[in-house]
Amino acid sequence: MPETGPTPADWAAAEALIRELPPDGRVLLICHVNPDGDALGSMLGFGLGLRRLGVRRMQATFPGPPEVPEPFRGLPGLDLLVPATEAYPDPDLVICFDAASESRLGELVDRLDTAGAALVLDHHASNTRFGGVHLVDPRAAATSVVAEQLLARCGVPLDAGIAECFYVALTTDTGSFRFDATTPEVHQLAARLLATGIRPGEISRRVFDTRPFGAVRLFGEVLGRARLEPAAAAGRGLVWTWATLDDLARHDQRAYVLEALIDSVRCTAEADVSCVLKQTAPGEWAVSMRSKGAVDVSRVAVALGGGGHRFAAGFTGRGAAEEVVAAIRGQLDTALIPTAVG
């Protein structure tokens, strides 16, 4: 998979799509299903930037139920959002954010054909290069890094609204600057975002450190049933747990609260690989995987129909939880990363 970023020709083509948009052109922004901080943040921040450029007819959307997870309900630019069912059927320009493959666009995938042009902003190495013009940079810590670069090239200055969106995106995908993706460039971008006056403490508390009491108790239950398999992944270890729709219902919680669960599971010292199965329908699971560095979990995810990054990936699992984990276990050995020598 290519590890290089967009070429000068890619940047020029993307900039031309934005600059040559007719004054009454309709722009549809789409981010991936079950949007996270980078999906929503990069999309809404870019949308606010386009607004500053004078784009008036613009919608932002994502596939599935039009529900924004509580942690992101304070994001600037939410007024751009429309339900997928109301999205322009044939926009002049469609721009996709943080989606590694067409399948992540759900029922909105047809816009790639009906739109006048399609631009893809992403940072997944596993990006399938769907759509027309690609700005895919696997070295970028977040899609928002690519989005900010394109806005800068189009001459849009950062303001506090754009900055808050991009800050949420950047902190989400770098684990609040804890992951190796946290390069000097990431901190330089963070500095430019903070210089607009946004409040990092308040934003982080809202996005990462606030959850309903029912979710706290639900986490206790789900963490209490976690399984540790020290022999898995050639002795590197696997830790996993699962949460059912019934668990959510008993604690009166929405599915998005489970997104933070993997961060508690992956703390396990005795396991390189961690995994959380989140039931989405009977016999269907949204699977999250993380690795501390010994296993390329995106290989596991791609082999099982999903995608993601080397150390954070996911897929849709089918069958009983035990069967899904058996499928993962079966892929771990081939996904071991050869240890560097010397």
Amino acid at 82: V
Contact residue for ligand 5GP among 26, 111, 236, 309 (CB under 6 A): 309
* Sheet order of strands, 58-61 included: 58-61, 27-31, 93-97, 117-122, 133-136
Contact residue for Mn ion among 26, 41, 47, 98 (CB under 5 A): 98
Residue 135 CA to its chain's centroid (Å): 16
Q: Does 295 bind ligand 5GP (CB under 6 A)?
A: no
Amino acid at 171: T
Which tokens in the block code for residue 241? 């747990």
CB of 42 to Mn ion, least distance (A): 7
d(CA 67, CA 64) in angstroms, rounded, equals: 8
Q: Does 288 bind ligand 5GP (CB under 6 A)?
A: yes
The residue number with the shortest CB distance to ligand 5GP is 314
d(CA 15, CA 31) in angstroms, rounded, equals: 19
CB of 102 to ligand 5GP, least distance (A): 10
Q: Does 314 bind ligand 5GP (CB under 6 A)?
A: yes
Contacting range for ligand 5GP; rule: CB under 6 A; set: 89-97, 100-108, 219-227, 230-238: 100-108
Task: Name the helix (H) or strand (E) containing 173.
Answer: helix 160-173
d(CA 274, CA 107) in angstroms, rounded, equals: 30
- Applying the rule CB under 5 A, the residues between 163 and 192 that interact with Mn ion are 173
d(CA 20, CA 300) in angstroms, rounded, equals: 41
Contact residue for ligand 5GP among 50, 145, 312, 332 (CB under 6 A): 312
Window 243-262: contact mask with ligand 5GP (x via CB under 6 A): -------------------x
Among Mn ion, ligand 5GP, none, the one that 38 touches (CB under a kind-dependent 5 to 8 A) is Mn ion
d(CA 251, CA 296) in angstroms, rounded, equals: 34
Q: Does 38 bind Mn ion (CB under 5 A)?
A: yes
d(CA 278, CA 276) in angstroms, rounded, equals: 6
Q: Give the 3-state secondary structure of residue 315.
A: strand
Q: Does 137 bind Mn ion (CB under 5 A)?
A: no
Q: Does 222 bind ligand 5GP (CB under 6 A)?
A: no
Question: Which residues would be at the binding site for ligand 5GP (CB under 6 A)?
Answer: 100-101, 104, 262, 288, 306-309, 312-316
Question: Which residues would be at the binding site for Mn ion (CB under 5 A)?
Answer: 38, 98, 143, 173
